[in-house]
Amino acid sequence: MLIKSRNASDVLSSEITPKSVFEKRRSFLKTAAFAGAGIAAGALPTLPAYAARTPLSGVQKSKWSAESLPENDPITDYEDVTSYNNFYEFGTGKRDPKENAQEFKVTPWEISVEGACMKPGKISFEDLIKPETLEERVYRLRCVEAWSMVVPWVGVSLASVLKKFEPTSDAKYVAFETLFDPERMPGQRQPVLKWPYKEGLRIHEAMHPLSILGVGMYGEVMPNQNGAPVRLVMPWKYGFKSIKSIVKIKFQKTIPPTSWNDAAAREYGFYSNVNPAVRHPRWSQDSERRIGEIFKRKTLMFNGYAEEVASLYEGMDMRKWF
Ligand code: MTE
């Protein structure tokens, strides 16, 4: 992944905010978000679905709650999660997406689902945010660049969405594509990647209970810079697998091309499971820094989700299939 050296504007807000203010703001944001999430279960927000900071209603708690994480694994500050991003459609700097994505209009939004399935069709954002399907999942996400975060995502099970389209036995893989619209996504005017951004999963990975389509975070709709309106969240894989602003999902027999593998095959494999034992050719992957924290932590195999996902890769040489 192309890495920009950190400059003054890349200083994290938690690094410049006194700790007491930072903690107070964090607890205020949490209360506000969850109060919002609890209102009028069953009703959709009356604001246009994508005004910034709109609460999502009817969000169910899941077994992946904040309490399920170890004590030393606190939820990352909202400010940090929303102001330190990779979203090359809005610039290659970590501060660019927040600055450049604010005008990005995401309503109406549809995802077309096609390929090896009995019922190809479309799914709209409104279909996805039916209150009975929305869950809060507090997941860690670990970027290949060795930073990580803990986020209360709001999402729907990817398997539950995919099954509606009745994939056939030819559906060995699932391919995902981001919107291609250089007018609305100015970063696409530069050839930094082959647009549109593409990702792919093996069908068993896509159908795994941990895999979600994220539609929000902190009880609210997804901020534009974090991949509005719909993105993948694959907690045991490096962050770049979690493709943002998805418009197309395709079931297919063959392994899908993926953007970072296309850009640098030696550095980014198809699987991209978090694995502290396998170095990125240019740096170690055995530790990481939570955004907003000073000290590094050890990176865990499958980002700490080994118990749930290791069986997906039984018998595979993880060095070869990195
Ligand atoms: N999706 C698209 N369409 N474009 C991107 O540039 N960057 C990826 C991933 N999804 C990216 C993307 C990378 S490298 C990471 S680390 C995560 O998004 C970052 O997600 P975040 O902004 O919520 O931290």
pLDDT in tens for each of the 322 residues of the chain? 654 444 434 444 443 333 333 343 344 334 334 333 333 333 444 444 456 789 999 999 999 999 999 999 999 999 999 999 999 999 999 999 999 999 999 999 999 999 999 999 999 999 999 878 999 999 999 999 999 999 999 999 999 999 999 999 999 999 999 999 999 999 999 999 999 999 999 999 999 999 999 999 999 999 999 999 999 999 999 999 999 999 999 999 999 999 999 999 999 999 999 999 999 999 999 999 999 999 999 999 999 999 999 999 999 999 999 9
The set of residues, in sequence order, having a beta carbon less than 8 Å from that of 129 and lying 6+ positions away, is: 44, 49, 56, 215
Atom of ligand 1 nearest to the CA of 141: 24
How many A from CA of 200 to the centre of ligand 1? 14
pLDDT at residue 1, as a whole number: 63
Strands (E), the chain: 60-61, 110-115, 121-124, 135-142, 147-157, 173-178, 198-202, 212-217, 220-221, 231-233, 246-252, 287-290, 297-298
Ligand 1: centre distance to CA 29 (Å)? 23
The response to whether residue 242 sits with its C-beta less than 6 Å from ligand 1 reads yes
For the CA of 151, the nearest atom of ligand 1? 23
Distance in Å, CA 87 to ligand 1 centroid: 5
In a 3-state reduction of DSSP, which class is residue 174?
A: strand
**Ligand 1 atom nearest residue 143's Cα:** 16
Pairwise CA distance, residues 160 & 261, whole Å: 28
CA distances from 150 to 39, 127, 226, 322 (A): 24, 27, 14, 23
The H or E element containing residue 33 is helix 19-38
Choosing from 1, 12, 83, 86 the residue with most ligand 1 atoms within 8 A of its CB, the one to mutate for a pocket test is: 86
Q: How far apart are CA 100 and CA 74, in angstroms?
A: 29
* Predicted local confidence at residue 50, as pLDDT: 57
- Whose Cα sits closest to atom 3 in ligand 1? 244
For residue 53, what pLDDT is reported?
Answer: 87
Please give the CATH number for the structural domain made up of 8-313: 3.90.420.10
Ligand 1 centre distance from Cα of residue 172 (Å): 24
Ligand 1 touching residue 153 (CB < 6 A) = no
C-alpha of residue 231 to centroid of ligand 1, in Å: 9
Q: What is the pTM (predicted TM-score) of this model?
A: 0.87
Residue 74 Cα to ligand 1 midpoint, Å, equals 22
Q: Which atom of ligand 1 is nearest to the CA of 245?
A: 3
Which sequence spans correspond to the domains of the chain?
8-313
